[in-house]
Amino acid sequence: MISNRFSVLIVLTACFNHGLDGSTLSFDNGNFHVSWRYEKDHDELHFELNVKAEGWVGFGFTFTPKKMNNYDVIIGGKTRAGTPYLNDFFTVGLTTPVLDLRQSYMLDMASKQDGITTLHFHRPRITSDSEDIQFNMTTSVFILWAYNKIDDARDPSSFSKHSRKGYSSEPHRIVIEAIPTVDVSSQDSTKLTTFHLSTPPLATLKPAKALGFQLNLSTMTIAIAFTLNLFVQLVLK
Residues near ligand NAG (CB under 6 A)? 136, 138-139
* Closer residue to ligand NAG (CB): 95 or 138: 138
Q: How far is the CB of 114 from ligand NAG (least distance, A)?
A: 38
Residue 1 CA to residue 232 CA, distance in Å, equals 9
Q: How far is the CB of 36 from ligand NAG (least distance, A)?
A: 16
- The residue sitting closest to ligand NAG, measured at its beta carbon, is 139
- What one-character-per-residue DSSP string does 61-123 give? EES--GGGEEEEEEEEEE-TTS-EEEEEEEEESSSPPEEPSS---EEEEEEEETTEEEEEEEE
Q: How far is the CB of 176 from ligand NAG (least distance, A)?
A: 14
CB 125 within 8 A of CB 175: yes
Q: How far is the CB of 138 from ligand NAG (least distance, A)?
A: 5
Alpha helices in the chain (DSSP H): 2-17, 208-236
* Closer residue to ligand NAG (CB): 125 or 154: 125
* Closer residue to ligand NAG (CB): 3 or 136: 136
* Closer residue to ligand NAG (CB): 139 or 186: 139
Could you report how far apart the first and last alpha carbons of the chain are, in Å?
12
